[in-house]
Structure 1
Amino acid sequence: MKAIFRLPFEEKFILIHHHEAARNVASFFPFTNGKTIHLQAENLEVCTSEELKSSFFEVENFPENNAELNIPQHEEYLQKLEKAIEIIKQNNLPKLVISRPIAKEISSINLEETYQLLCKKYPNTLCYLLISDEEIWIGATPEILGKFNKKTHEFFTMSLAGTLPVDAEWSEKEIEEQKPVTHYISEILKKYVTLSEVEESETYNHISGNIKHLRTDFTAKIEDNRLEELIEELHPTPAVCGIPKEFCKEKIIEIEQYNREFYAGYIKIETEEEIYCFVNLRCAKIYKNQVIAFAGGGITALSSPEKEWRETELKSQAILHHLQ
């Protein structure tokens, strides 16, 4: 098992060749209950683009897709969204995040070229590739669940929600979709802050390829022994789930009728100085003859199912459009 990571705005790559060691250097956590993958190594290997060897991307046998996965087409997905809107109105929910898997048939794939292209197209994301005997995942995620500096104890996170094409104007729907995410994160952080106040930025545009999101940043100082507890309370945020969390999780499983696995879960990476946790968005699972991307959107009482369908089409292109 092995993985490669390129942190946002970094030039260098982090390589991990898993072997039994004293510590986990990277972990993949699922959206909800399920398998967790831990990568262990004595040290992280850091290299430049020139030093990165093509052999790292070699796969002996690509996994076969034997899973019975329900992939909803247009009409079926619109019905799921109508059901979600009904639940939102009945229960007065601020939002509920519904997603779908999107399949693309392939005859072959060049993992190295695909990964390098994602790194080039999305410099402000975590670009990763996970290769194990059982599964291969690739992604370019824009969302930080948490970043913790071991020396200063500074914790950083963001509220990222609302999606439109880059040249479109924000409407009330997107603004109302992001508000509960911001409030949720702010209220949780206040419980963990002991060394300073929670600092909250103005809301601004976060550009990610062909789309933009509304983003608010948070910084606070926390004790290192409370980091794990804080991450567990934040995940899954309303950006990928909804409020109240447990009720929305149940409704998501009921409506979507598929296992998100690592999609909308999170990826943890520990370096000497920092611990990073990224929400696993804009990702796909790679099989021998098929790539399955995952995309979703925050549904509110104001949502148009047709527009939400188009949003998932746009988001899935982040990966599917760049397959080599």
Structure 2
Amino acid sequence: MILFRFPFGDDFYTLNKDSENPAVHFFPFDEAETINFKGSIAIISEEKVISDPLFTDEINSVIPKKFQREKKDHYIQKLQEVIAFIKQNQLSKLVISRRKTVDYSVISSAKKLDLSCSFLQLCQNYPNAFVYLFHQNGICWMGAFSELLGKFNKKTSEFETMSLAGTLPVNENWTSKEIEEQWPVTDYISTILKKFSANVQQSGTYDHHSGNIKHLRTDFKMKTEAQYLNEIISELHPTPAVCGIPKEFCKKAILGFEAVPRELYSGYIRIETETEIQFFVNLRCAQFFRNGAILYVGGGITAKSNPDDEWRETELKSEAILKNLVTA
């Protein structure tokens, strides 16, 4: 079963099982194994979200015993190696992720997670985000994020996307590190889009707030044909905001530095309605188990990065999900 809400939307959606056509697709970072949801998109009331047993049933799976918690000192050491690698290969940026485990007893003595209310809490506190919750075949994920990989209007043939990178607490001022992190993302997206249109509109760069943190954002618009949509998305993913530049070189480097697969984190979600096809980058997300949750976070590492600051950034990002978890 799946729930979702579009950015700045008031309605909650699910899928009616009246169609065999997949309407929602979850692509992992490596695009190896897609999770698909069939049916037609339908509005669901808040009352139904709270009361429907399909969303309140207890999760049976547990965090695998082989899972290793990543401690701060280990992460700091790895980032020092990453920074040396970046300097040696003259990279502008390499994105490194980590996983954080959370025991529900840390949140509340109740120790039982209320997924439906957690979903609604995320919707309330992140109005500009795409928010989702799904529970299928023992796999349960939830996320809230506002990075758009692409949006295609079927009637006007207009395609939109954004460059979103650089992270700071909302009350801090931008430094050259964040500006230099966001610029290659903007340049990368601009170069790709110009392959498909002679008239690409690009906005100025501005602040994009997401809860307790902010990013630098630049918007793009262009006209294109539907037949090119999959090719555009294939070229955009993974963007430098979740991978690095050059793309293929950085993807291989990520496999070397990250001990475990990213799963759905930093992959993307495709949703098709009657009027639009939208693609959202799957960030600020977590996988849920009976005995706890695994939160996925990451950061863009540059030659100027400070490992302690990067650790703090990932801790701030984890709060997007962590602070909105509701227990029964």
TM-score under structure 2 length normalisation: 0.94
- Classify the secondary structure of the residue corresponding to 2:168: strand
Residue of structure 2 in register with 1:179 after alignment:
183
Residue of structure 2 in register with 1:188 after alignment:
192
Q: Which amino acid aligns with 2:5?
A: R
Query: What is the CA RMSD across the aligned residues, in angstroms?
Result: 1.4
Residue of structure 1 in register with 2:168 after alignment:
164
Residue of structure 2 in register with 1:136 after alignment:
140
List aligned pairs for 1:75-114, cutoff 5 A: 75-106=73-104, 107-114=111-118
User: Quick one: which of 218, 222, 225 aligns to 1:223?
Assistant: 225
- CA deviations 1:274-297 (Å, max 9, x no partner) are 011000000000000111111111
Does 1:322 pair with 2:320?
Answer: no
Unpaired runs of 5+ in structure 2? Answer: 105-110
Q: Which amino acid aligns with 2:161?
A: T
- Classify the secondary structure of the residue corresponding to 1:236: coil
Identity between Structure 1 and Structure 2 (%): 51
Question: In structure 2, how many angstroms separate the alpha carbons of the residues matched to 1:67 and 1:269?
Answer: 34
Question: In structure 1, how many angstroms separate the alpha carbons of the residues matched to 2:30 and 2:48?
Answer: 37
Residue of structure 1 in register with 2:3 after alignment:
4
Residue of structure 1 in register with 2:212 after alignment:
210
User: Quick one: which of 285, 291, 294 aligns to 2:293?
Assistant: 291
- Kept in 2: contact 1:285–1:291 (CA 8 A): yes
Q: Which amino acid aligns with 1:66?
A: P
Does 1:62 pair with 2:60?
Answer: yes
- Kept in 1: contact 2:41–2:273 (CA 8 A): yes
How far is the alpha carbon of 1:50 from its aligned partner?
A: 4.8
Q: Which amino acid aligns with 1:184?
A: Y
How far is the alpha carbon of 1:53 from its aligned partner?
A: 5.1
- What is the aligned length? 319
Does 1:126 pair with 2:130?
Answer: yes
- CA deviations 1:79-119 (Å, max 9, x no partner) are 11111111110111010001100000122100111111000
Q: 1:18 to 1:257 in 2, by over 3 A?
A: farther
Q: 1:239 to 1:67 in 2, by over 3 A?
A: farther
- Kept in 2: contact 1:19–1:39 (CA 8 A): no
Unpaired runs of 5+ in structure 1? Answer: none
Q: Which amino acid aligns with 1:4?
A: L
- Classify the secondary structure of the residue corresponding to 2:233: helix
How far is the alpha carbon of 1:63 from its aligned partner?
A: 1.8
- Classify the secondary structure of the residue corresponding to 1:26: strand
- Classify the secondary structure of the residue corresponding to 1:192: coil
How far is the alpha carbon of 1:141 from its aligned partner?
A: 0.9
